[in-house]
Structure formats: C-alpha cells, structure tokens
Amino acid sequence: MSRLQSIATHLPIWGDEKTRVVGLDEDAVTLAVAAGRSALAAAGDVPVTHVVFVTRDLPLLEGGSEGVLLAGLDLDASVRATTVVGGAPAALDAISGAADGTLVIGVEVAPSAAAGAALVGGTTGSFVEALTRSARSLPIKVRDTTGHSSDYEDPRLLRVRGVGTAVEALELQDKPLAVAGLNAKDAASYVQGPVAALPTLGAAAPFFGLAATVEQHAEGSLVAVEQATATAVKVGSGTTTVTRFAPPARPLPKRKLAGGGDIKISLAAYERAFDGKLRLAAGKCTACGALHLPLRYRCTECGDETGQVLQALPREGTVYTVVTVRVPVPGLASPYDLVIAELGDTGVRLLAPVTDADAGTVPIDAEGTLVLRRIAVRAGIPDYGYAFLPAATTNEGAAR
C-alpha cells in the first residue's frame, strides 16, 4: 500500500479543449520535469530516493533520459531512476507498488499530450492499494521501431474482447470510481456515478483519475486499462495535496522550420556544461564569491583558478531586453523571441528563448519563470536548456 503525499497534473498550453499537443520545444522529458517539480514543490522537504518514469515516448532509447530527468528535477545524480515503457496500467502499478520516497511520473505525448506525477510517502495521505490485475494480449494498436503506429480497424473487438473482458476478469465487487485509459463515453458503462473526463488515455491518465478522486474525497476502486490489460487499485481517503497546471488551450503558433544542414553537437561540450545547464546553476568562485554562467575555469573578477562550485540560481526572472528573431536558422522554427533575463538579485543574466507565447508578445520588464525545454535537436540528440515562461501563462494554470 502506498500513501500519496502529493499529486500533480500538467497539460501543455497548445491544442484545444479536447486534445493537447506538445510545442516544438517540448517532449516527454520536459513534460515529466514540469509535473515532477510541481509534485515535489507541493510535498515540501520529503526526501526522494527513487524516480519511476512511465512513458512510451522516450526521447533517448539508449541512455540519457534519466540523467536529464534527475537534473531537471534538481535531484542528485545518485538517486535511483527507473524507466518503464508502458501506458495507464503500468503507471497505476508503479504508484500502488511504490515505496516511500518514490516519485512516479507518467507522460503521454500523442495523441493527447499530458503528464502526471505522484510522490509516495508520509502517513496521512490518501492511500492506494493494489487489488488485482489482468494481463492479456490483443494488439489492436502497434508501434514499430521508428515510432509509427497503426490500428487494427475493429473498435468493437477492442471494446468487447479487449477492455470488456479485461475489466470483467478483475472481478471487482463494485464498479470503479474512474477508468483511466478510456474516454468518458466508453468509460460510462463501467463506472459508478458521474464519469470524470480524463484529458489523456496514456501513462498520465491514472494521475488525473487519482487527482479527481482525492479532490472529491471519494473512496473506492480505480481501474486503468490498455487494450486487453487492466489493473485495479483501492483508493482511500487522506490528506493529499493536488496541484494542477491546466492553462486555457491555444492553437500552435504559425512558424516555419528552416531547412539546411544539421547543426552538429559537441558531446565534450555537452558533458562539460551538463550540470550547470540542466540544473540552472552558476559557478561560484571559491576565492571571491563571484558567479559565472556558464561555469568558468578562471574567475573573471579576481582571476582565481583554484576552482568553482555550483550554486543553484533562482528560477524567477525579469526580462532585461528582448528581440524577435525572424531570420531562418537551420533546425529552428521562426519567428521566435530571445530574452536576456535577470535572475532574482544574483546579478546573473541568462540568454533564453521564450516558450508558450506568441513571438513579439513579451515586453521588457515582464516577469516569468525559467523552465526546462528542448532547445534543439542536434545530430539526433535532444539538447536541453532553459526557456523563459511569461508569468501570464503561469497564472493561467494556477495550482489548486
């Protein structure tokens, strides 16, 4: 049995009220970091010993995603990180079987983008206890090694022999409160009472179902399904903080992706800048205390070369100056805004692209937050960094 200290749900700003889509600078890792940081912020000083990342949309299949995830969450690189390839049942299994100190994150990029996170721990949170599971094979939808997916065109087969048979095999005494993995119409015949409309069907769906259950102070079972696999848990009352980021949906801005040769990446430079860049930390001179971003081997203030230590920078910033770039750059979509943001009272200024806003709409002195984004893809490698998220966007998705 797991007790939930906090739950966070996250929806990208782009899309419409039915389906959200990722922006050009977002992927499964950036969504995971956004949801995970919200869950951690709401939980206070609860130590994290394990991160479980559930998704089918891994940006890097052979190493790299866990390191970026831990850095973006500002967790130590020694924290155990596990990646699980799966959908709604896998995410619900991970939550119900998690030990204290585990941060479970579920992300879906397509067809409807969303992310959720839950921190397990404490003694007073809502509890989640595994009940039963039914694993069968009915590959209605398949995805090949290139990411291309295809459906077997028989929705009735999936509904009757897939989901229907899987849920029946659970042998639940009462109808569940919610079914993650189905749209509201298909879930109506399985649940008791009003159907909670979940904005996603993948690995993030159970987090939205749990959040709705906690907010309603309900007790009962929650089911997650995927094709012919189903899992059920019992949800009990408790004190769990729920944080939601759900800004009003907006259509993707019209931008043109520039062609041209691929911009190569230097893995030596990537590795050297990794911690400072991904953790948003400056190098602090051990001799005079001056801050440098990025970290330097020689202090520009006192000339000391004995060493620097990383110091975390505030993620709140104010636009010092801004420019709209319309000139095509290979691999980037234009137009886009670049800002120089002043980070708190540290005296450090950071050059960053603007995210989740139309080009030309961010004024000087605008306040905002630095958030992890995929700045570019170079030679097939996602290059992550920080982008400036205007406060107006943040306020639209206020937590509750």
Letter for the amino acid at 61?
L
Residue position matching structure tokens 């897939």:
162
Letter for the amino acid at 89?
P
Instruction: Identify whether the C-beta of residue 16 lies closer than 8 Å to the C-beta of residue 142.
Output: no
Q: Identify the residue with better confidence: 196 or 12.
A: 12
What interhelical angle do 88-96 and 205-215 show, nearest 10?
A: 60
For the chain, the average pLDDT equals: 88
Does 315-396 match 2-245 at the fold level? Answer: no
pLDDT of residue 294: 84
CATH 1.20.1250.40 fits 2-245, yes or no: no
Q: How far apart are CA 363 and CA 145, in angstroms?
A: 44
Q: Identify the residue with better confidence: 53 or 333.
A: 53
Query: CA distances (Å), 231 to each of 181, 211, 392, in order?
Result: 11, 18, 39
Q: Identify the residue with better confidence: 140 or 295.
A: 295
3-class secondary structure per residue, 153-164: CCHHHHHHHHHH
CATH 1.10.260 fits 315-396, yes or no: no
Q: What are phi and psi of 96, to 5 degrees?
A: -70, -25
State the pTM of this model. 0.91
Residue 399: pLDDT band with limits 50, 70, 90: very low
Task: Among 18-22, 294-298, 395-399, name the most confident range.
Answer: 18-22
The closest alpha carbon to 107, from 42, 178, 210, 35, belongs to 35
Least confident of 68-72, 122-126, 359-363: 122-126
How many other CB atoms are there within 10 angstroms of residue 124's CB atom? 10
Q: How far apart are CA 12 and CA 1, in angstroms?
A: 31
Q: How far apart are CA 354 and CA 53, in angstroms?
A: 27
pLDDT of residue 280: 94
Kindly list the domain boundaries of the chain, sorted by start residue: 2-245, 315-396
